[in-house]
Amino acid sequence: MSLSSDLDAFDRAILAILQKDNATPQRTIGEKVNLSAPAVQRRIKRMEEQGVIRANVALVDPAKVGHPITIFVEVEVESERAELIDAAKRGFAQVPEVQQCYYVTGEADFILIITVATMADYEALTRRLFFANNNVKRFRTFVAMDRVKVGLEVPLA
């Protein structure tokens, strides 16, 4: 499971910084958390090995690269047989336009976040992903008018 990742106050302080800007020099991090640069570096390495840090990435503004439209989709399936659910998960995850995909409880089964260039592209996607899929009973679309807050930061109180 969470497999021996007991983080102390130093680790959390380091993570808090890296979640906002992972280009911060280790020396600077060290000054802020009262640790030497090597100590910081060893902790970062350990957290990467443990999977606490999943990845180091650049966040790109979708609008600036020709994907101005963000869409939410609630998907309801016909059958919840494990095999079919797994197939659906794999199918959704494969699609690059599907930025996020969650399997959820409640009145829907999946929630997708999709990024596209045009509504025509979205319409084409719905054909491929939903209409052509026998196990999709229904889906509801929400178009984002404002990306009020977007990130994957986890609070570290």
- Per CB under 8 A, residues contacting its own copies are 2, 5, 7, 12, 15, 18-23, 50-65, 67, 70, 72, 89, 92-93, 96-108, 110-111, 115, 140-157
| In the complex, minimum distance from the CB of residue 46 to DNA, in angstroms, rounded to a whole number | 8
Q: Provide Rg for the chain, Cα atoms.
A: 20
Distance CA 50, CA 4 (A): 8
Nearer to DNA, 14 or 112 (CB): 14
Q: Which of 5, 12, 38, 153 binds DNA (CB under 7 A)?
A: 38
Pick what 15 binds: DNA, its own copies, none; C-beta below 5 to 8 Å, kind-dependent: its own copies
Q: Which of 13, 15, 43, 71 binds DNA (CB under 7 A)?
A: 43
| In the complex, minimum distance from the CB of residue 20 to its own copies, in angstroms, rounded to a whole number | 7
Nearest to 18 by CA among 56, 68, 50, 71: 56
Nearest to 66 by CA among 115, 114, 113, 117: 117
Counting contacts by CB under 7 A, is residue 32 touching DNA? Answer: no
Distance CA 39, CA 18 (A): 15
Q: Strand 69-77 vs strand 110-116: parallel, antiparallel, or unpaired?
A: antiparallel
* Length of the chain in terms of residues written: 157
Are 125 and 73 within 8 A, CB to CB?
no
Pick what 132 binds: its own copies, DNA, none; C-beta below 5 to 8 Å, kind-dependent: none
**Binding footprint of DNA on the chain (CB under 7 A):** 10, 25-27, 30, 34-39, 41-45
